[in-house]
Amino acid sequence: MQRIRLRYTKRGRLRFTSHRDFQRAFERALRRADVPMAYSAGFTPHPKVSYANAAPTGTGSEAEYLEIALTAPRDPGTLRALLDESMPAGLDIVDAVEGRTSGLADRLTASVWELRLDGVTTEDARAATEAFMAAETVEVQRMAKNGIRTFDARAAVATLETRDEPADRPSDRPCAILRLVVRHVTPAVRPDDVLSGLRAVADLAPPVPAAVTRLAQGLFDEETGTVTDPLAPDREAATAPKAEPAAAATAPAPEGPA
The domain 2-106 is placed in CATH, from the list 1.10.3720.10, 1.20.1440.230, 3.30.70.580, 3.30.365.10, at: 3.30.70.580
What pLDDT does residue 185 have?
92
Amino acid at 192: D
* Helices and strands, number each (H, E), in the chain: 5, 11
* Cα distances (angstroms) measured from residue 234 to each of 4, 99, 121, 138, 227: 10, 6, 42, 38, 16
Q: Is the pLDDT of residue 258 over 50?
A: no
The confidence score (pLDDT) of residue 94 equals: 97
Paired sense of beta strands 211-221 and 60-70, if any: parallel
Q: What is the pLDDT of residue 246?
A: 53
Contact 9, 61 (CB under 8 A): yes
- Looking at residue 96, its amino acid is A
The torsion region of residue 188 among left (phi > 0), alpha (psi -120 to 50) and beta comes to beta
Distance CA(215)–CA(247), nearest Å, equals 48
Mean pLDDT for the stretch of residues 15-19: 93
List strand residue ranges (DSSP E) for 119-198, in order. 139-144, 147-152, 157-163, 175-183
With a cut of 90, say whether residue 116 has pLDDT above it. Answer: yes
In this structure, the number of other CB atoms found within 10 A of the CB of residue 11 comes to: 15
- CA atoms of 87 and 28, how far apart (whole Å): 8
Domain 2-106 and domain 108-228 have a common topology: yes
The mean pLDDT value for 126-138 works out to 97
The backbone torsions φ and ψ at residue 86, rounded to the nearest 5 degrees and listed phi first, read -95, 0
Rounded mean pLDDT, 104-129 = 95
Is 0.95 surpassed by the pTM of this model? no
User: Cα-Cα-Cα-Cα dihedral of 48, 49, 52, 58, to 10°?
Assistant: -150
What pLDDT is stored for residue 254 in this prediction? Answer: 52
Do 8 and 92 touch, CB atoms closer than 8 A?
yes
Is residue 249 very low, low, confident or very high in pLDDT (cuts 50, 70, 90)? Answer: very low
Distant-in-sequence, close-in-space partners of 144: CB < 8 Å, separation ≥ 6: 187
Kindly list the domain boundaries of the chain, sorted by start residue: 2-106, 108-228
Quickly state the pLDDT bin for 170 (edges 50, 70, 90): low
Q: Please tell me whether the peptide bond between 187 and the residue prior to it is cis, using omega within 30 degrees of 0.
A: yes
What pLDDT, in 10s, does the model give residues 35-80?
A: 999 999 888 888 999 998 899 999 999 999 999 999 999 999 999 9
Name the CATH code of domain 108-228 (choices 3.40.50, 1.10.357, 2.60.40, 3.30.70): 3.30.70
